[in-house]
Amino acid sequence: MHQPKADPSTAHAYAQLLAALSVIEDPRAERGRLHTLSDVLAIVLLAVLCGCENAEEFESWGRKEETWLRGFLPLAHGIPSQDTYLRVLSAMDPVQFRAAFLTWVKQVFAPLGIAGQLAIDGKSVRGSRSSEHSAVHMVSALACDSGLVLAHTRTADKANEIVAIPQVLKLLSLHRTLVSIDAIGCQRSIAQQIVEEGGDYLLQVKGNQPALQNELHTLFRQALAEPEHRPLDHTPAPRVQRYEHTDAGHGRLEVRKTVACTELPDYLSQKPLWCKLTTVVMVEASRQNVTTGHSSTEQRYYISSRALSAQDANSAVRAHWLIENQLHWVLDMSFGEDACTVRAQHGAQNLAVMRHFAYNLLRRCHDKKSLRLRQRHCDWDRDYRQRVLQASA
């Protein structure tokens, strides 16, 4: 069969990926093995990049694109069957695959330690749940500036994120990075680890830290109280900064009032317990449905080792939710993660990592298309697909 000439940038991008994947041992027995591990994994990645969600679609897409694939893949025995993809994904060592991902991110995109903000959060792959096993739960680290996934690890369930978060942090260089984590990661040991590794933390405070939450509630109540409502013999109110931001859209009006305090009062007994605690924050979000008139107000508290103004704190809190809006939502809506029912052995976990590979490639391609539309164009337009691959070359 005629072998089409590979685009140099596409071939280079594939060579980088192949070099990263070389650390993975082929889990299959040599006898009867027709397709190389690199061929199988490359087709899965490219198929996921083009919107495919399961092994049947991987095989169908590979056959459709066989001529193009032969430009840089040997494919000595043609396109693998769907059973081959499932066997490889199920049996492949997930620790080795994670190491390959980390190597690839470091080589292709940016150093793992980046100045900016890093959001850490967990997500369950709901379709991987079965009567015998709980759903695969992945804890990921997202660089808020670039939108790229930098690291991840699997944990047994959401409750074990406390164990997984320190593992993710160890994979990264945190120098000058602001690490934001929701309430489950509000632990003194995690705060200390972040500071010791050269970063700063921004942690949400909820009921799992009741003493700290109560003290913050009291502090901001005193700081915001009108002077005539304060007892004459009371200590001076804490000095705070304020910032207000209004958003309107999708039939909803939201007003966010952010209050930050860096001059922490002596009566804040929790301060010595948290490594380098410098700023405490309250965000009051008031939402109103413009159609029904229904409104609600919620107050949330945060602590940080970095000196943050009220405006900076507001920006950092909003940036943290990019991991929900730009990663988790996209994995479900564009990659069909929750609907995927691959469950055997390590299949769900390895396929989740493969989605992170594809997600980073699509996010790295800067244009005005949504990620879902980028997937579709990758499938329809080989020139566009090559541009996406070239963005990582």
The number of beta carbons lying within 10 Å of the beta carbon of residue 393 is 16
Amino acid at 175: H
pLDDT at 289: 87
Cα-based angle 351, 60, 353 (whole degrees, multiple of 5): 10
Instruction: Say whether pLDDT at 160 is over 60.
Output: yes
Give the DSSP H/E element, type plus range, for residue 84: helix 82-91
Nearest to 351 by CA among 79, 109, 52: 52
Model confidence at 131, pLDDT cuts 50, 70, 90, reads low
pLDDT at 339: 83
Q: pLDDT over 90 for what percent of the chain?
A: 65
Whole-number average pLDDT of the chain: 89
Q: Is 249 helix (H, G, I), strand (E, B) or coil?
A: strand
pLDDT at 1: 42
Instruction: Say whether pLDDT at 50 is over 90.
Output: yes
Let me know: does 319 contact 180? Beta carbons within 8 Å: yes
In Å, what is the CA distance from 111 to each residue of 3, 13, 353? 36, 17, 19
Nearest to 243 by CA among 317, 308, 314, 180: 314
pLDDT at 5: 54
Among 34-48, 120-134, 331-345, the least confident range: 120-134
Between CA 329 and CA 335 the distance in angstroms is 9
**pLDDT tens for each residue of 69-127:** 998 889 999 999 999 999 999 999 999 999 999 988 888 775 545 669 999 999 988 77
Instruction: Say whether pLDDT at 7 is over 70.
Output: no
Cβ-Cβ contacts under 8 Å for 137 (sequence gap 6 or more):
122, 123, 124, 125, 154, 155, 156, 157, 158, 160, 161
**pLDDT tens for each residue of 298-325:** 999 999 999 999 999 999 999 999 999 9
- Prediction pTM value: 0.90
pLDDT at 2: 46
pLDDT at 231: 56
Among 149-163, 245-259, 300-314, the least confident range: 149-163
Q: Is 212 helix (H, G, I), strand (E, B) or coil?
A: helix
